[in-house]
């Protein structure tokens, strides 16, 4: 795992090497093991290395092809590099045992088709001196970030927004249209960001740049139907799922450094730890966050799994005082603001301090195997499409009655769904994922913009409701979850919070082979009559009943009590500063905070916290709002 920087088009830049050096310095936390730079008359490339596979200096980057024509920088891991190396064979004269060299050799052999052969997580850039052309690409699931901006003369890219800003080539200006999206969903969805004229390369895409053209192409489509033979036989399906997940875990245990796993005691992390233990000759190192507040603590479940698989288990006891001390550091590590993240920051910190450089995570299991309530709600909606036959005035009336007799966030969201012009999956999903409603957003802002909804547009654009695609409801929700909340919140947070400590996190559930297979299965097989039934039954007796049937708690902190107690002063200070910004209405911000303090059921902690995070990020990065 590393960090990459680059500039294509140097004519108007006085000291390209100095700019790249400054950008590299901003990524030092991502790669403490080496600092590499390449410059010529056309490009400047930078790399910060965290050594995981082939830790020798021979694999430092930028990496050069044997003929010297190709220059390569790479952030991430390609897990099937050994198989690819065999397939390339004598066509390339290998000098290291790294995946880096194999990826470059794959491009030299197959051209742009090499991307479809890679199994891994990555963002990369390849400079071809002969063609005067640079190729920039991002992995299929968007596990690794890659941001860019264009000026009149240059194309600048980086693993982090902060490094782009450090170049001095980009204005530190808040994008007010995208601010609305952040307030609504506690994130901004790719390819947009919160900074004007800064974008991210979409997952599964590559960009070709030369003096004459800028071509952005998609090399992998998540909703593209795949052929896997018999998908109706449950026994065969379960055997295949276990085989794919076991292969994925085995791939992700390849490392030349000490590694471990995050363990919450839930189904997903427990499954990963169990499969790791089957393949490891040594006890797996596991790490869990525990609390004194018993209603939030998952310690008993994590301990049960640790004992079953005889892991080297580490408990991280967290108190409000501990967290208060860490908040400035956690928020300082946020390259992109988010309503989530500090969880991963703290467990990553302790994991790294224990001598671990790479850890596996259960992230992605909920999205693939219907672990969220929205899956069942969406199924219920699809079975009640008769609601569409009622005129809008009657549906609005029903929604108003629901809000009046049962006031809650869930009731307001249902009323919002009923009030939509269309009652379908894209509309209901975009409502269910809201953190703040448009009425609340309007009260927070001093400017009035047409409140377009890019997430809704994205879900419609997937065209997964059309006749050409035979995917069923649960798979459609999975695709929406994966391409929105997971990619733009969970994966982004996992990357920035773990890399703050130079810890690599790998996600076995997001092996594209497993994703493609799971999405082709019908609702009858995947419906979660019991928690993640298909996954659990595919694993046989790997998981004990106490884990399978335990209450779902999620990996979270007791935020509400902390924000009203130990963190109250901190929160208020940031909200006051946010209210002083030109684009925010101080009275609206204050009103939202007071409603939370008074226990308003419609204002949970998550509907306030992302405002506090936003103010911290704006101030830390000097963003003009």
Following DSSP, what letter does each residue of 592-616 receive, concatenated? HHHHHHTT-TT--THHHHHHHHHHH
Place of tokens 């004598």: 90
Is the Cα dihedral 585, 589, 595, 597 positive or negative?
Answer: negative
First-last CA distance in the chain: 33
Please tell me the distance from the alpha carbon of residue 503 to that of residue 501, in angstroms, as a whole number.
5
The residues that bridge with 136 in the sheet, in sequence order, are 125, 207
Tally of CB atoms within 10 A around 329: 13
Element (H, E) at 70: strand 70-78
- Can you tell me whether residue 227 is helix, strand or coil? coil
Residue 461, CB half-sphere, CA atoms under 13 Å: how many?
9
Whole-number Å distance between alpha carbons of 72 and 135: 10
Contacting residues for 593 by C-beta, under 8 A, at least 6 apart = 571, 572, 575, 608
Contact residues for 230 (Cβ-Cβ < 8 A; gap 6+)? 236
Q: Tokens for 563?
A: 């924000």
Buried b (16+ CB within 10 A) or exposed e, 127-158: bbbeeebbbbbbbbbbbbbbbbbbbeebbbbb
Residue 2 annotated in active site: yes
- For residue 26, give every residue at least 6 positions away whose Cβ sits within 8 Å of its Cβ, in sequence order, or none: 160, 162, 163, 166
Helix (H, G, I), strand (E, B) or coil at 413: helix
Neighbours of 388 (CB within 10 A): 10
Which pair of tokens denotes residue 577?
């500063």
Structure tokens belonging to residue 342: 């500090």
Cis status of the peptide bond prior to 191, with omega within 30 of 0 = yes
Q: How would you classify the pairing of strands 155-158 and 2-8? A: antiparallel
Backbone Cα Rg of the chain: 24
Residue 460 gets the label, from left (phi > 0), alpha (psi -120 to 50) or beta, of alpha
**C-alpha to C-alpha distances, 87 to 91, 441, 531, nearest whole angstrom:** 9, 54, 41
Query: Given its phi and psi angles, is residue 128 left (phi above 0), alpha (psi -120 to 50 degrees) or beta?
Result: beta
Half-sphere exposure (Cβ direction) of 142: Cα atoms closer than 13 Å: 27
Active site residues: 2
């Amino acid at each position: 795992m590393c960090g990459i920087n680059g500039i294509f088009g140097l004519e108007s830049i006085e000291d390209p090497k100095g700019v790249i050096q400054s950008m590299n310095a901003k990524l030092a936390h991502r790669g403490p093991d080496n600092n590499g730079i390449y410059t010529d008359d056309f490009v400047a490339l930078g790399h910060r290395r965290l050594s995981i596979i082939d830790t020798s200096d021979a694999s430092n980057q930028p990496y050069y092809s044997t003929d010297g024509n190709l220059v390569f920088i790479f952030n991430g891991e390609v897990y099937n590099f050994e198989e690819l190396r065999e397939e390339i064979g004598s066509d390339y004269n290998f000098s290291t045992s790294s995946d880096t060299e194999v990826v470059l050799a794959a491009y030299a052999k197959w051209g742009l088709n090499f991307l479809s052969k890679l199994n891994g997580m990555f963002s990369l850039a390849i400079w071809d001196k002969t063609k005067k052309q640079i190729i920039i690409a991002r992995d299929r699931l968007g596990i690794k970030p890659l941001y860019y901006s264009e000026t009149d003369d240059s194309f600048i890219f980086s693993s982090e927004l902060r490094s782009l800003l450090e170049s001095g080539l980009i204005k530190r200006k808040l994008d007010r249209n995208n601010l609305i999206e952040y307030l609504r969903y506690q994130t901004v969805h790719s390819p947009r960001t919160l900074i004007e004229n800064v974008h991210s390369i979409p997952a599964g895409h590559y960009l070709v740049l030369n003096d004459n053209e800028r071509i952005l192409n998609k090399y992998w489509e998540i909703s593209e139907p795949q052929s896997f033979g018999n998908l109706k036989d449950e026994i065969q399906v379960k055997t295949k799922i276990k085989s794919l997940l076991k292969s994925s875990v085995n791939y992700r245990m390849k490392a030349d450094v000490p590694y471990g796993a995050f363990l919450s005691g839930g189904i997903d992390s427990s499954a990963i730890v169990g499969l790791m233990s089957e393949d490891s000759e040594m006890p797996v190192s596991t790490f869990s966050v525990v609390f004194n507040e018993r209603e939030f603590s998952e310690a008993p479940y994590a301990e049960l799994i640790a004992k079953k698989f005889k892991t080297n288990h580490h408990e991280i006891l967290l108190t409000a005082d501990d967290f208060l001390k860490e908040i400035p550091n956690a928020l300082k590590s946020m390259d992109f603001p988010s309503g989530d993240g500090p969880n991963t920051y703290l467990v990553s910190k302790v994991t790294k301090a224990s001598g671990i450089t790479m850890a596996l995570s259960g992230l992605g299991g909920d999205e693939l195997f219907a672990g969220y309530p929205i899956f069942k709600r969406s199924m219920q909606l699809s079975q009640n499409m008769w609601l569409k036959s009622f005129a809008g005035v009657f549906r609005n009336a029903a929604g108003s009655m629901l809000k009046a007799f049962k006031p809650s966030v869930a009731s307001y969201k249902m009323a919002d769904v009923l009030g939509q012009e269309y009652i379908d999956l894209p509309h209901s999903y975009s409502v269910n994922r809201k953190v703040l409603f448009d009425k609340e957003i309007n009260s927070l802002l001093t400017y009035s913009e047409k409140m377009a909804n890019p997430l809704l547009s994205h879900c419609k654009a997937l065209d997964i409701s059309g006749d050409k695609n035979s995917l069923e409801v649960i798979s459609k929700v999975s695709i929406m979850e994966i391409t929105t909340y997971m990619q733009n919140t969970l994966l982004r947070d996992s990357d920035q919070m773990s890399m703050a400590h130079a810890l690599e996190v790998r996600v076995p559930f997001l092996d594209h082979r497993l994703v493609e297979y799971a999405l082709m299965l019908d609702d009858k097989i995947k419906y979660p009559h019991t928690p993640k039934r298909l996954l659990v039954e595919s694993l046989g007796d790997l998981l004990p009943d106490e884990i399978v049937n335990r209450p779902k708690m999620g990996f979270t902190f007791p935020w509400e009590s902390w924000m009203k107690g130990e963190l109250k002063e901190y929160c208020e200070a940031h909200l006051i500063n946010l209210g002083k910004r030109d684009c925010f209405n101080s009275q609206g911000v204050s009103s939202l905070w007071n409603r939370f303090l008074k226990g308003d059921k419609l204002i949970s902690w998550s509907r306030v916290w992302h405002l506090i995070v936003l103010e911290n990020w704006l101030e830390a990065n000097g963003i003009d709002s």
